[in-house]
Structure 1
Amino acid sequence: MTTSQGIVIHAWAQPDAALAQAQVLAALGASDLADQVRVRLSATAQGSTLQLWLSAEQTARWAPGFDTLGLAHTLGLDVWHSAADVRREVVVAMLMGPVAFEFPSLAELVSAISIRCYIVQAARKTNLAFHTSQAERPEDCWRYDEDRGFVIRAGASLIDALTKATQPEVSGTLYSFSCYRASEYVIVLGIAQELAQCNPPLYQQLQTLWQHRPIRSGEFHEVFLREQGSMEAPLPPRYYVPGDRTWFRNPDGVSAEASGFEGSWVMYMGGGEFTNFWKRDQPYTLEQKCLEIYHWRHGLHLDAEGEERIDEDKVAVLVAKTLQNPAEVARIQALMQRYREPRGVYTAAGGCIDTTREFARWVRPGTADLVLPAP
C-alpha cells in the first residue's frame, strides 16, 4: 500500500523536530494540522533533512486511495471564491503526497505553494478561441518573428503580455492558440508573478529572454518544470494538487490522428476541476473529460480538403446522451480511467490517465534550479 511521503526540506538547521514542525506549519498557515502531521528529522552529510507528512489515518479519511479530487468538498473549502482555501487545498494535498515534494529551503516551499496558487488563479481566468492551425496575440505587447514565433515587444511587461493573451476579461478579445501553448502561458505567468516578488533579477532575465525568443514544447518542460511519477511507477490515478499540469490521452489511435486531438493538456484547478480553455465557465471533472475524449472517435470525419477533423458539436450531443445512461457511463469510465499507454502504442487496454504530474521548478535566489538558456 502506498503511504504518504509529504514534504521534505533539506539543509534544515532547527535541531528540534517539534519546533521545526511548528515553524513550517506556521509558514504554511496550517498550524491547526499539527496533530495530524507527522515529522521526522534525519541527519545527513549536508545537514538535517526535515520531512512532514499527513498521518495515514487522516489521509485515508480525507482522500481514500489518494483521491484528492473530492478534497475541497471533504474539507468544506470554497476554492472557487477564496484564495486562502485554494492555498489550503494545495498544502493538504502536498502533505499527503505519495512521492515526496523536495525543497532546499522553507522559502522554496512557500514559493512553490504561491506559484501553484497563481497558476490556479490564472487558469480560472483563461479562455481561448479554439483553432488547431491559427495563432494570435495582442499586438500591443506581442510581435511575430518568422523564425522564433511570438515574442513580447521591447518594453512590454511579460506578466501583462501573458495576461492579455489568455484572459479576455483583461484584453477584451479571445485569442486562438493550442491548449498545450495555453498551459505553458498559464505556468509561466504563475512563475513570473512569484519571481517578480521573490527574485526580481531572474524575472528581468526571463522577460528579456522572451523579447528575443519564447521557450516552448520540450525545452519548456526542461527549463520550467519538475515531474513526479513515471510509466514504471505511476502516481495514483486520482491524485492531483492544484497547479499541476497533466495530459489526458486519446486512447483511440484512429481519431488521435486528427490534428489537436491526440489528447488534452490541462491544469488542475482544485475542487475536482480541470481547465476548459475554450469554455472557462464549464470546467471539466475527470469523469467529464473522459467522456468527451471517449466520444472523439465518434466525431471523426474528413473536411472539404480531406483533412481529419473532429465534430465537437456531435461529440457534445453524444456526451449528453451517454449521461442519460448510467450503465454506459460506468462502462466508459472503466475503460478511460485506466493509465495511458506509451506514446505510439494503442491497444484496448489503454486509458487516458497520465502517470505523471508536472509543476514548477525552484525559483528563490541561491537555490533556484530554474536556469534560463541564452536568448
Structure 2
Amino acid sequence: MNGVSAVFPAGIQLISPDADAAMAARQEMRELLHAHHLPEVTETDWPGMGPIHMRAYGLPPVLLQTWAPQHDTLKLRERLPVTADGEATALAREILAAMLVSPQGFQFTSVAALASHIRVRQHIAQAAKKTALAFKTEAAERPSCYWRDGGDEHGFILQPGRCLVEALIAATQPDASGRLYDFSCYRATEYVILLGIALELKAHHPGLLNDLQQLNENHAVRSGQFHEVYLVEYGSMAQPLPAHYYVPGDRLWFRNPDERSSDVMGYEGSWVIYMGGGLFSNFWQRDQPYTLESKAIEIYHWRDGAHTNAQGQWQMDENVVEAHVRQTCADPQAKAKVLKRMLRLRDPQGVYAEGGCIDSTREYPRCVSPQHCELVLPTYAALT
C-alpha cells in the first residue's frame, strides 16, 4: 500500500480498515506531527471506499506557499521554523514536511509504517553524506574481509557470517575502512539504499534483516532487479514531478541530454541521492555535494570533455569539464543560458532534442515495518 496515488488528495495518506482504526491513526498522526513541530496540517477524508477509511494530510495553502511554493522543496529546511533540534531530528522533520507537500500522495497503512519509512529515508540521506568512492565504470572492488566476487551471475556477495551493515559501511565509507573502493554511481546508490534499509531492520525488524543477510550471502540483487525488489517509483512522463520537488532519501537520475558525450561509458547520466537541504550526493568528492544548479552545469559540460583516444574509444577529460564549469559559473549570462537549457524535463529514452537533465520520476524504498512490510526478497540456492 506504500505507493503513490495521483487520484486521491496529495500529501500523506493513511489507509485504515475501519472507523475505529481510522480514529486511532488520526491521533497517532497528530502526535507524530507535533513531535516534529508540524502541528498545522489539513486533513481530508476520502469518501466512497466502503469500510476502508482514507485520510490525507497536507499543509494549509498559506504554509505551502511559504515553505514550498510550487512544491519546491530545495529550500524547505531553511524555510521551516527554527527549533533547537539536532541535525538528525531536523532531517526527519524535513522528510515529513516534504512528504506533506507532495503533489502525488504517499500511502501508508499505519503511522508506525510512516515513521519507519521516515527513518529509512533518514538513514539513506545520512549514509549518502558519508559515502566516498573511486569512480570506475569498468572496474569494481570491495573489502575482501567482507565481500567475495561471485562472478557475473551472483555479483559481490557477503563472506559467510559477516554483518551486512558493517560490510556496506566498509565498502562505502572511508572513515570506517581507511580507503576508497571502485564503484559506478548506479551501484553506489544501491549500496547506500541497502544500508539505509538494513539499519532500520537491525533496530526494528531483525527477522527480516536475517533474511536479507542470507540473501546477500548467496546473490547480489542489482540493477533492474534492485529497482523491482527494493524501490517504488513515483511520477511519470505523463505526470512528471515538479523539477524542484525532492524528498531526502530519494534516488534520482539526471540525464545527459548531449547525444555525443552520452556515448562515454558512465556519462549517460548521473544517479544521485537527495540528502536534504538542497544538496545531492557527490560520491567522488563528498565534501563538495551538488546543488541542482551545479549538477546541471557539470552535466552540460560533459560535452566539452568528451573525446576519443588513440584506439577510437570514447573518454572523458574531467579537467576540461571542470575548467568549463568554472568559466560558466563566473559568467552570469552564460550560467543562466546553461540552466535554462538543462533545468527542463528530459526527452524520452533514445531522443536527443530540446529536453534537459531533469527526470520525471524519483525512487524511494519500499515499506519494511513489521506492521506493514512490502519488501519481498527473492530466493537463490546457496553459492558453494
TM-score (norm 1): 0.94
Counterpart pick for 2:180 among 151, 174, 180: 174
On the 8 A contact 2:259/2:352 being kept in 1, the answer is yes
For 1:254, the equivalent position in structure 2 comes to 260
Cα distance between partner residues in 2 of 1:78 and 1:260:
42
Cα distance between partner residues in 2 of 1:18 and 1:366:
17
Cα distance between partner residues in 2 of 1:107 and 1:245:
23
Cα distance between partner residues in 2 of 1:325 and 1:144:
48
For 2:4, the equivalent position in structure 1 comes to none
Counterpart pick for 2:212 among 198, 206, 209: 206
Counterpart residue type for residue 75 of structure 1: L
Counterpart residue type for residue 202 of structure 1: L
For 1:229, the equivalent position in structure 2 comes to 235
**Displacement after TM superposition at 1:246 (Å):** 0.5
Change (3 A) 1:81 1:308: farther
On the 8 A contact 1:79/1:86 being kept in 2, the answer is no
Cα distance between partner residues in 2 of 1:330 and 1:161:
43
For 1:66, the equivalent position in structure 2 comes to 71
Cα distance between partner residues in 2 of 1:122 and 1:310:
28
**Displacement after TM superposition at 1:234 (Å):** 0.1
On the 8 A contact 1:272/1:286 being kept in 2, the answer is yes
| Alignment map for 1:1-375 (pairs within 5 Å) | 5-11=10-16, 15=20, 20-30=25-35, 32-34=37-39, 36-42=40-46, 44-75=49-80, 82-146=87-151, 147-347=153-353, 349-365=354-370, 367-375=372-380
Structure 1 residues 289-315: Cα deviation after superposition (integer angstroms, max 9, x where no partner): 000000000101112432101111110
Deviates more, 1:7-16 or 1:60-69: 7-16
Change (3 A) 1:31 1:189: closer
Change (3 A) 1:123 1:57: same
Cα distance between partner residues in 2 of 1:145 and 1:77:
50
Counterpart residue type for residue 181 of structure 1: R
On the 8 A contact 1:4/1:97 being kept in 2, the answer is no
**Displacement after TM superposition at 1:202 (Å):** 1.1
On the 8 A contact 2:9/2:56 being kept in 1, the answer is no
Aligned length: 372
3-state DSSP class of the match of 2:66? Answer: helix
**Displacement after TM superposition at 1:32 (Å):** 3.9
Structure 1 residues 156-203: Cα deviation after superposition (integer angstroms, max 9, x where no partner): 111111110000000001001100000000001001111122221111
**Displacement after TM superposition at 1:367 (Å):** 2.1
Change (3 A) 1:123 1:31: closer
On the 8 A contact 2:36/2:93 being kept in 1, the answer is no
Cα distance between partner residues in 2 of 1:216 and 1:140:
21
**Displacement after TM superposition at 1:364 (Å):** 2.0
Gap runs ≥5 in structure 1: none
CA RMSD of aligned residues (A): 2.2
3-state DSSP class of the match of 2:373? Answer: coil
Cα distance between partner residues in 2 of 1:54 and 1:214:
40
Gap runs ≥5 in structure 2: 1-6
**Displacement after TM superposition at 1:74 (Å):** 1.5
**Displacement after TM superposition at 1:126 (Å):** 0.3
Change (3 A) 1:29 1:209: farther
Counterpart residue type for residue 276 of structure 2: G
3-state DSSP class of the match of 1:112? Answer: helix
Change (3 A) 1:150 1:111: same
Q: Kindly, what percent of the aligned residue pairs are identical?
A: 47
Counterpart residue type for residue 174 of structure 1: L
3-state DSSP class of the match of 2:349? Answer: coil
Cα distance between partner residues in 1 of 2:227 and 2:274:
17
Change (3 A) 1:20 1:111: closer
Counterpart residue type for residue 335 of structure 1: R
